[in-house]
Amino acid sequence: MIDRNAIGIVGAGKVGTSLGAYLAAKGLPVSGFYDVDPTQALTAAEQTATRSYASLKALIADTDVVLLTVPDDLIEAVWEQCRRFPISGKTFLHCSGALSSSVFRGSEEAGVNVGSAHPLCAVSSRMSEDVFFGKFFVLEGDETGIELLKSWMMKTANPYKIIVSADKARYHAAAVMSSNLFCALQQMGEDALSQCGFEKEEAHRLLSPLMLSNVEAIAERGCVEAMTGPVERGDAGTVASHLAVLEGAERETYRLLSLRLLEMAQQKHPDRDYNNLLKVLKR
């Protein structure tokens, strides 16, 4: 197993500060933070009892492992800045869910090891270190990068899975579909109720228990067993009436998701005839 190396964190926002605090609390050697906003780096350092660095060059010189927790669109640009300094023998990591370690272009020529570790959870503030306890991490990278990350997971007792770099975007899309996209569907439902004369707050209050009970059923029994409603029943007329009052993107979203539900319903009820419903959804 790789020896624990000093970890310098670039990016002192919500993820960087919270993850740094979590790693430090678990006994990993976090040396400190660098951020383009010195105030943020200082705040993160104070929160984690580490140090703030005045420059990226200073952080790199003082650490063996550089963890980038900047926004996805900035990772490649920050990496290119890092390449201006002596980095041979170091390990570079990031926390993006969608990007793989291939974003560290030219890493072999630079003599560094690379990897990524994405926590399957939402980080809502800079004081969210507790959110990482027991959470699942998805790891990828070169052999040395993965071994280092595995040593972190053993130290923190977090479950993890290693995937290949080519699957990172698909993995992250799965996470988004199971979390963020629910927000859009809930908003669509609340907007539809508002068009029926319900107040915005009332629509939210009425639909939220329905959403929560369904999510609980999915978690307990799985998607196919938890499904209910007109698609499962094969109520072609009901679905047709919904499509008749929906327009544009809302109608297409409803139609496409109902087609997916239909596939699931056929798994659940292989002897049931869904042909009429399929015709409605194919129009």
> What backbone torsions phi and psi does residue 270 show, to the nearest 5 degrees?
-60, -20
Q: Are 256 and 282 in contact (CB under 8 A)?
A: no
Tokens of 23: 């790693």
- pTM, rounded to two decimals: 0.87
| pLDDT > 70: percent of the chain | 99
Give the residue from 111, 66, 63 showing the smallest Cα distance to 92.
Answer: 66
Task: List strands edge to edge, sheet with 113-119.
Answer: 51-52, 30-34, 7-10, 65-68, 91-94, 113-119, 137-141, 160-162
| 24-40 residue pLDDT tens | 999 999 999 999 999 99
Q: Model confidence over 39-74: pLDDT tens digits?
A: 999 999 999 999 999 999 999 999 999 999 999 999
Dihedral, 133, 139, 145, 148 alpha carbons, nearest 10: 30
CB burial readout 188-224, b (16+ within 10 A) else e: ebbebbeeeebeeeebbeebeeeeeeeeeeeeeeeeb
Position 122 scores a pLDDT of: 87
Ordered alpha helix ranges (H), 157-179: 168-177
Break the chain down into helix, strand, coil percent, rounded to 5. Answer: 60, 10, 30
The residue extents of the domains of the chain are 7-166, 177-282
User: Which CATH entry fits the domain spanning 177-282: 1.10.760, 1.20.58, 1.10.1040, 2.40.160?
Assistant: 1.10.1040
Is residue 124 very low, low, confident or very high in pLDDT (cuts 50, 70, 90)? Answer: confident
Q: Is residue 2's pLDDT more than 60?
A: no
Residue with tokens 């699957």: 167
Predicted confidence (pLDDT) per residue in 187-244, tens digit: 999 999 999 999 999 999 999 999 999 999 999 999 999 999 999 999 999 999 999 9
CB-based contact 206:198 (threshold 8 Å): yes
Helices 248-268 + 180-194 axis angle, to 10: 120
Give the number of residues written for the chain.
283
Q: Classify domain 7-166 at the CATH topology level.
A: Rossmann fold (3.40.50)
Specify whether the CB–CB gap between 265 and 236 falls below 8 A.
no
7-166 and 177-282, same CATH topology: no
Q: Which region, left, alpha or beta, applies to residue 20 given φ > 0 means left and ψ of -120 to 50 means alpha?
A: alpha
Section 268-272 average pLDDT = 96
